[in-house]
Structure formats: C-alpha cells, structure tokens
A and B are shown apart, each in its own frame.
Chain A
C-alpha cells in the first residue's frame, strides 16, 4: 500500500523532472503558448473589464506589438549573449541612448553616414571597456557594466553641452525603419530579421558561440581545453555594445526625438525578456528565440498593465519579481545554479 504510494510519488517526481527538462530544452514552445494565452486574456478579460466590450485582434495592434518588441528584443540579445557566460550588460540601455543621441546630433554636422559610424563606435568603446574589466581585471560583470554605464552617462551629459545649439536630425532611413510599414508589418523587421538570423547563427554554428556556452557552463573546462577567456570576454562585450548601439538607432527612428533618457527604461525589460526566454542568468544555457518571444510577452503584459491603469511602480516591481521567480524556479528544477 504505502509501497505503491512511494512508487507513484517517484514516478510523479520523475515526470516533473522530465517536464522541467523538456521546458528547459525547448523554452520556445511553451512560451509561444503562453503568449497566445496572454493575448486572449488581453482581449477577452482585460479589455471587457476596462472598456465593457471585447476587443478584436487587428493588424494595427499586431503591427504595434511587433514594432515595439523589436528594440526590446535587440537589447535582450545583449543580455542573452552576456548571460551565456554568466554575465550581464547593464550598460546596454545607456549605450543605446548614447548612440541615438550622438547620431541625431551629429547628423546635421557631419552627415548621416559619419554620424551612424561614430554612434556605433561609441558602443564598441563602452563594450571594450566592459570586456577589459570583466575579462582581464575580473570585476563582476554586474558591477563593471553598472560603472561604465555611470561614466558613459556623465560623458553624454558633457557631450550634450557642446552640441546644445546644433539642433538634431533623425536620419530619414531610421524613421523609415522605425515607423514605416510594408504589407502591414513594421519596416523594423528588415533590420531585425537578418539580425536575429545572425545571432542565432552566431550562437549555434560558430566557434565563438560555442565558447560563450563553454565559459558560462564551466570556465575551468574551457581553460583546460586551451580557451583564453579574456579574448572571448573582450569580443563578447564589444559585440554587446554594437548591438545596443544598433538597437538605440532603431529606437531613435521609432521615437524621433532624442533625449538623455531615451532607451534607459528598456534595460530592465531586456533582462526580464532574456530570463523569461529561458536564458539562465548563471550561464551555459540560453536561447535568443526564447528571448524574442519573451520580448513579445513583455509587450503584451505592458499593454495590459497600461490598460488596467497600473501605476509605473507596479510595473517595475512586477518585472523584478518575474526575474526573481523565474531564476528561483530554475534553481529549483535543476537543483543547481
């Protein structure tokens, strides 16, 4: 009697473990399921409660959802890539802001191509400093990227004083990318689809991608195999800076008014999107596809919260709780960090 119960329990546990494993290996499937569920909830529960009528899924709504998810997903790529090595890039938000601001203010002065090039170079520089601190000096990535973010903010403020009178110009093609539509879908996809393909390829089919997983999974094993980790960290954080700058340029085209805070509020959601998407903050496991769905999920939650007139504070606290909850669940399921 009690024997069978024990067996049943064991079987159940095995089932649970297996489920956990499945979800870990294929985070995208349940995530898409969850996304659809959320969209339904949005139209059939939240909308009726707030407005008294059910909403309808319109092309416009979908377009908007995707449009605003794109820069978020790009910044989430910074987090996914760095988290693979058990790092994080908290300077991504400010780098995006700097790139946008520099581009908008330099365009009238030196022309669009030069402005874009300098904007991207800013991303590389911040990234290299991060990579140096993390890979060579071995400061914790969180502290390091926080510090460079702070310094970069100061630099931006100084820079702003020099260009305060020059006026701003948002390059035409960025506006086209940011706000235009083709066949009902946002033009941003013209940038994002190749970008996503590149990241997915980088993670799965290149030696560099392998090393990112290796460093996060077991840095000692990588060292044993002859990997010089500082090289990888330097390249990784530089890449993350470039991606953040790119995301900032796209966001500039979307918002069309540069400011000193432009992309900063995207930072926390980008971390949350990566974590929801099944990327482990402890390294060694991650999926950019999951992060993309994670970004979409966050956008839906965001529209729901806006509709519910949820205050800003609740939104921030909720995102923080999501990060904690998903991470704690991960530790629970795998029994390891």
Chain B
C-alpha cells in the first residue's frame, strides 16, 4: 500500500506519458521507432540537467548555473577531444563538472549567501568561463561517442534512453543507498533536525552540488554528442529543468521526491513539443506554449510549497 502511495505521483506521470504517446501516434500514424529515437535524443541534455537540478532541490537548494556548467563541460570536452581520446576527455570533463558543482556548494556554505544568489552569480561566471575556453562554436567530438546515442539496440528502446538511464543510475543509485543519500534528504527535509541527528550539513550540501555538477557535465557531453561541436552559449535548460523537477514531484524547498519522476517529466515536456510540431504549429508558438506550460508548472509548485509550509 505504502509502495503504491509513495510512487503514486510517478505512476501518474507514467500514465500521462503513455497517453501523450498515444495522442502522438493518433496525430501522426507513422510515429514509431525513429520518432521515439529522436524524442529520446532531444531529451538527453534536458534529462541530465533535470537530474542534477533535482538533487540540489532535494537538498533544499537550487542551482541556477546548471546550464552554464553544461556549456563549460561541453566546450571543454570538445576542445579536449581535438588532442586526446574520448575516454580521458570524458573523464576529465566529468571531474571538471563535479569540481564546478563543489565550488558552487562550497561558496554557499562558506559565504552563507543563499543558494539562489550564489548560483545566479556563478551562472555568469561559468558562462564567461565557457566563452574563454571557446569563443565561437568549435572543437570536435569523437565519432564513436556520437554513435552511442543513435539507433536502438533493443527494438523500441532508443539507445539515447538507455544512456540516460544507465548514466543517471550509475551516479544516483550508489549515492541513494549510502548514508550520503540519506543525509541529502535529511538536510533538505529539516536542516535543524538533521544537524541534531548528527549530519554534517555543510559537507552534505557541497556533495549534493558536486553530484549535480557531474550530471551537468553529462548534460554538456550529451549536447556535443548531439551537435558534434562545442557551443559556449548556455542553452535554455534552467527553467526547463526547474519545471521538470517540480512536475516530477520534487518539492521546491527540499526533502521529497526522487530522480525518476523528474526524468519522466522531462519526456512529458518534450513530447508536448513533438505533438505541437506534428500538429503543424509554428515552432515559435511552440516555444511560447512550452514556456507557458513550464511557468504554470512552477506556479503550481509554488502554491503547493506555500500550502505545505502553512500546515
């Protein structure tokens, strides 16, 4: 009973996703394996950004700089791959992402300036860093890496989706099962009670931001895997990730939710775009609709958080 109730939100999201997939199929009867593949590919960077954002929101913070970290990691990997193999380049990029996240978290803990302000400033700092590394789009991406997210090894299960699931699981599952994962939820849920239960609040925050950084680095990598070059200007991932996190059942304010819900939410938000495109809606209008949906979701989240705090 508790299992169902705990996961009711996620199950609901899955049902919604299924409905939307059927709607898509109805609008465009030819929608099939290729359609799924391109959907999963487009969702890649959003999914990683959202997973990272979800972790910092769970710990009770927010990371406005997530898109900028993705940009830095994307260009770094693209530049590195000009002179070295894909594997060391990817490893260095992931470490760099973790480091940038840890710097964000460290600054929050040390300066005692609220998360939202620190990461707003860091949004610009990391954006500047990305431009310093690569002023105009460039660099290269190992072809093997790009092939990774194409096609479907298993029918109707796009490789891009597998990449998302495996990569996020590799980062999150061990953490979730360790004491660090507990601490992350504890700090986000009730900082004072966590402190009294013996949790090191500062280190937990730094770790959560570092994890978000690693996931953002994966997002950056997926960006260059999609386009083939490094792009120093941050993409529209901030609001999209916040909206997906809220829709995915993670309360702004922390302590609740997981990573599965937000990732399903990413697909829901992406598929809305697909449907609008298939319905021949002007892509710019699609952007507006998407923006309105995201703002509405965030508003709903604010109302729920506000209510939650009052009771």
Contacts and interface: CB of A to CB of B under 8 A. Distances in A.
Direct A–B contact in complex, judged by CB atoms less than 8 Å apart: yes
Interface string A307-327: 000011111111111011001
A147 interface: yes
Contacts of A281: 117
B132 interface: yes
Interface in B152-206: none
B12 interface: no
A147 B306 contact: no
A161 B29 CA distance: 30
A150 to B, nearest CB: 5
B21 interface: no
A53 interface: no
B120 to A, nearest CB: 7
Nearest to B116: A142
Contact of A317 (B132, B294, B295): B132
Interface string A237-269: 000000000000000000000000000000010
B298 interface: yes
A321 B288 contact: no
Contacts of A312: 128, 131, 135
A151 interface: yes
Chain A CB within 10 Å — which of B114, B116, B122, B291 has the most?
Answer: B291
A316 B284 CA distance: 28
Given A311-B131, A312-B131, A314-B132, A320 B291 contact: no
A286 to B, nearest CB: 15
Interface residues of A, number: 41
Contacts of A316: 124-125, 127-128, 131
Contacts of B236: 150
Contacts of B284: 154, 157-158, 161
A151 B294 CA distance: 10
Contacts of A138: 302-303, 306
Interface string B291-302: 110110011001
Given A316-B124, A316-B128, A331-B112, A143 B239 contact: yes
B291 A150 contact: yes
Given A320-B123, A323-B121, A313 B295 contact: no
SS class of chain B's interface: helix, strand, loop or mixed? helix
B125 A317 contact: yes
B125 A331 contact: no
B130 interface: yes
A285 B171 CA distance: 43
B121 A324 contact: yes
Contact of A158 (B112, B288, B298): B288
A313 B135 contact: yes
A327 B124 contact: no
A331 B127 CA distance: 25
B303 A137 contact: yes
Contacts of A321: 121, 125
Given A150-B291, A161-B282, 17 more contacts: A137-B302, A138-B303, A138-B306, A139-B298, A139-B299, A146-B239, A147-B295, A153-B287, A268-B124, A317-B126, A317-B127, A320-B127, A321-B125, A324-B107, A327-B113, A327-B121, A328-B107
29 contacts: A133-B299, A142-B116, A144-B298, A147-B239, A150-B239, A150-B294, A151-B292, A154-B284, A154-B290, A154-B291, A155-B288, A157-B287, A158-B285, A158-B288, A282-B117, A311-B132, A313-B128, A313-B135, A313-B232, A316-B127, A320-B124, A320-B127, A320-B128, A321-B121, A323-B120, A327-B117, A328-B111, A331-B111, A331-B112
Interface of B: 64, 107, 111-114, 116-118, 120-133, 135, 232, 236, 238-239, 242, 282, 284-285, 287-288, 290-292, 294-295, 298-299, 302-303, 306
Interface of A: 88, 133, 137-140, 142-144, 146-148, 150-151, 153-155, 157-158, 161, 268, 281-282, 311-321, 323-324, 327-328, 331-332, 337
